[in-house]
A and B are shown apart, each in its own frame.
Chain A
Amino acid sequence: MAVAGAGDRAVFWYGCNMTRHGEVIRATARLLEAVGIDAVTTGGPGSCCGSPKDANARINEGMARRTIQQFNATGRPVVATWCPSCHMNMQDSMAPVTPTNFETVHVTELLHSRQDRLRPLLARPVRARVLLHAHLGFNTRVPVNGLVSDLLRLVPGLELVEHPIRVPGHMCSSLAAVPGALADAEAATLAAMAETGADTLCTIFHSCHRELVALERGRPLRVLNWVHLLAESAGWAAEDGYKAMRNAEDPRAALGEARIEAAGDVAFARLVEPELRKPPTL
């Protein structure tokens, strides 16, 4: 694997829509630190891959070029991605257009290559029978399904079930844009959980997590990201803030007016609340 010789200094590029999951960014940064990676964490609109402007090559290119220039300026030899879209865009359109002075790897590759340093941290048993929510896409570039499976197997007490299900797409946001596709993927996932007796669905990517946490409503199952599970085993606090908002009967009441005011009441009402109140796909 290319990361075997990677340096100890990196940029951890979490993408844009990951800001819904602050605790996952925080815990991932801590995991990187724990395995000896000195990483600066960055994401959001200021370091965009350009894909939100896919319909305009000139704007897309400008956004992507600014991001690469920022990464180049850090002098760090590795950029560790979280988002599969960002990762593929770096390979397909960003780096071929704007020269880079870093290697792009996925964060799971970095952690997997240093799993011997992770193992002693993961001391607390996590009692869970886990089905990995695996997609067909991106795994052909970076074998994330196997990498995450291996990381989960480091957790004592955790039982990873085997099932051949691999849903289409590279993450659930792509399926959500195609009528019927996300509902079919979720139904197949629930069927696989029932078939294997899994009580926990483990997401790999943020957009899947965003869509799938609502499956907990009225069902005896948990939806957790792989980072939540590793953090739990390490004894780190990493409460799923997005799930708490999304599955609350009243998101405003769950968050409290003080937090909403700090976030901006108008912004919350226009940009956040409709998503939190959206009916579940299934």
Chain B
Amino acid sequence: MTTFDPKLDPYASSRETTEGTVFSVTGGDWDSLVSEIGESKEERIIVNMGPQHPSTHGVLRLVLELEGETVTEVRTGIGYLHTGIEKNIEFRNWTQAVTFATRMDYLSPIFNETAYCLAVEKLLGITNDIPERASVIRVMMMELNRISSHMVALGTGALELGAMGPMFFAFRDREIVLDTFEEITGLRMNMAYVRPGGVSQDLPAGMTTKIREVVKSLRKNFEDNAKLLIGNTIWMKRTEGIGYLDLAGCTTLGITGPVLRSAGLPWDLRKMQPYCGYENYEFDVITADTADVYGRFLVRMAELEQSLRIIEQAADKLDRLEGQPVMVADKKIAWPAQLALGADGLGNSLDHIREIMGSSMESLIHHFKLVTEGFRVPAGQAYAAVESPRGELAAHVVSDGGTRPYRVHFREPSFNNLQSTSAMSEGGMVADIIGAVASIDPVMGGVDR
């Protein structure tokens, strides 16, 4: 029989470094680790959490310095999901760039697309020429997307704190929204549906009726999670007073979105600096005054209902605007958007094909140039911001007058807001970090881009 050697423990091997003993914990038997740490006289230990940790929302890495169970310092490591989207966009034309932008924050693709397109439209000077139907569709899609995004925030946030039921309800409701997306755009996520000048295609026939049914069932479904969590003693014990960040902290750290509104400031770009015609919708800006995880949870829960209100109003507007164009009239910019589904399962504009293939050589040349090289955008720079589910999502777009963006920078709310992890968690318990990070609702695809 061999004696037990902690250095050879397959689950918690250790080695000596200049900073002290380093344990590599891979799950399994924690007893040997605990016994060995117990022998050490030092109270202070450093725990490396992530980047592969289920409750860190993907590949977030947290380096925690602990005194017992109290967190004395949190450092956040990011970059594990950096895909160079901003660099890639510089090598594609203005329309193709949408397919990159949509993949940043994969829970809110429509917002990424809209922020980028609004900036490009500002550069083109066509902001006021966007057809009303296109703007209303954008608003409706954004609000549906806000619901699906908040559903992930609420569901996974609850799951990470040990509540499994809310996750099932949340993903059931998110599925309803994603099915709607699939019916409208053909894809559940990363749809590249919003394009510079409008949207890629009109809604399928009878969609507004369907949307109203979706709103009705969602409104009923939301009660399940509300009943489960609002006022739930266990839930409140895990969230009340946790992850505190007041208004001064939010402003100096540039925090926007539900985290800022949970500190009591009704700042919502949809109200304050409306875009896409948000000034024509009736809805309330939800705030809380607790500046903690529970407040952010309540803000998100209440925002769901406001999104439903906006979707209902958008559906009414869409009925009124039936048959109107969904793409800007300027043929130098607009791709054909009135599409019909072909036998091959792809959308095509039959009228447009008839024109370019059958009757007009000029149209064919224009179409070819537009699709292969794209349109030119006058030189200059523009900044367009939208209120995404996580706060101010903005695109800073620079053009040198060419057919490709010269530089696109996304001001990602997740990237910015994640900086507050330390401020929210230091001085608290280890277990509360999870709640604090979940309440920021970071999406690493957006953080790292």
Are A and B genuine complex partners?
no
**Residues of B participating in the A interface, judged by any CB pair closer than 8 Å:** none
**Residues of A participating in the B interface, judged by any CB pair closer than 8 Å:** none
